């Protein structure tokens, strides 16, 4: 009888689940809390959270690389579930999100370069179940590792299938660095800032006469607008 197979240990120390959990929960989570504690929020519309409740549950989306700061802007994380990638980096974000009180759903959409190991189908079913239970969903609209700022058709399918409205949201800090060479133009947020928060919606995507591609193009334009507005609010240049 052959010896039982053992699970291969992660090749890098940083890929160990315990390390990812520690870094996400304490290092990243602690830092993002510090940014929030030392900064003030300027939101447009200012009554977003209150007005959004009439459309509850909803689907909130942002561009990848621009989403982390939104986690500490939402006033009641217990009412929101986050879609978290199965990638090791995503698992660190999942630990951070859970430390803030969010529910998490593991999985991400598939792309031409990343077809396997995404948990996409199971995640889609979990997202539908989450929305049906009355919990709002927050996810990024674009899929790594494709060039950023392209809306996943999976998000449109979710909105169409669930019948729930979509909100485009964005956050930015006045003290920041944008990693221009990274696929998603990741935003690094620094403390002692003004945090700009902007959103548009609700958008219902259930008209059979409108194609998924058209809905995706419209949502991409909305996400670009709210991101530009968030930068303007953070920088004090909003009209």
Domain boundaries of the chain, sorted by first residue? 55-235
Do 99 and 35 contact (CB within 8 A), yes or no? Answer: no
Beta bridge partners of 172: 196
Q: For residue 6, give both structure tokens.
A: 């053992």
pTM: 0.85
Categorize the per-residue pLDDT at 146 as very low, low, confident or very high, splitting at 50, 70 and 90: low
**What are the CA-CA distances from residue 3 to residues 6, 8, 10 (Å)?**
9, 14, 21
Categorize the per-residue pLDDT at 181 as very low, low, confident or very high, splitting at 50, 70 and 90: confident
Separation of CA 161 from chain center = 20
Q: For residue 160, give both structure tokens.
A: 């169409």
**Which of 135, 151, 158, 152 lies closest to 56, judged by CA?**
135
Q: Give 155's Cβ-side CA count (13 Å radius).
A: 32
pLDDT at 109: 53
What is the chain's percent helix, strand, coil content, to nearest 5? 40, 20, 40
Is the pLDDT at 116 greater than 50? The verdict is no
Residue with tokens 């507005």: 229
Q: Which residue has the higher pLDDT, 68 or 62?
A: 62
């Amino acid at each position: 009888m052959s010896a039982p197979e053992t699970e291969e240990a992660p090749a890098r120390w940083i890929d160990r689940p315990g390390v990812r959990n520690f870094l996400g929960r304490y290092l990243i989570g602690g830092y993002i809390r510090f940014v929030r504690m030392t900064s003030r929020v300027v939101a447009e519309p200012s009554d977003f959270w209150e007005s959004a409740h009439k459309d509850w549950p909803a689907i909130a989306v942002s561009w990848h690389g621009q989403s982390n700061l939104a986690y500490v802007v939402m006033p009641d994380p217990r009412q929101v579930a986050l879609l978290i990638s199965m990638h090791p980096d995503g698992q660190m974000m999942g630990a951070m999100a859970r430390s803030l009180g969010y529910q998490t759903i593991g999985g991400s959409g598939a792309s031409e370069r990343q077809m396997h190991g995404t948990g996409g189908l199971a995640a889609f079913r979990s997202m539908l179940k989450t929305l049906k239970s009355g919990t709002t969903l927050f996810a990024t609209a674009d899929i790594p590792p494709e060039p950023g700022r392209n809306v996943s058709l999976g998000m449109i399918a979710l909105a169409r299938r669930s019948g729930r409205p979509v909100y485009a949201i964005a956050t930015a800090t006045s003290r920041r660095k944008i990693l221009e060479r990274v696929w998603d133009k990741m935003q690094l947020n620094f403390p002692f800032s003004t945090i700009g928060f902007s959103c548009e919606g609700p958008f219902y995507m259930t008209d059979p006469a409108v194609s998924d591609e058209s809905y995706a193009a419209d949502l991409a334009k909305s996400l670009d607008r709210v991101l530009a507005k968030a930068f303007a609010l953070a920088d004090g240049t909003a009209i």
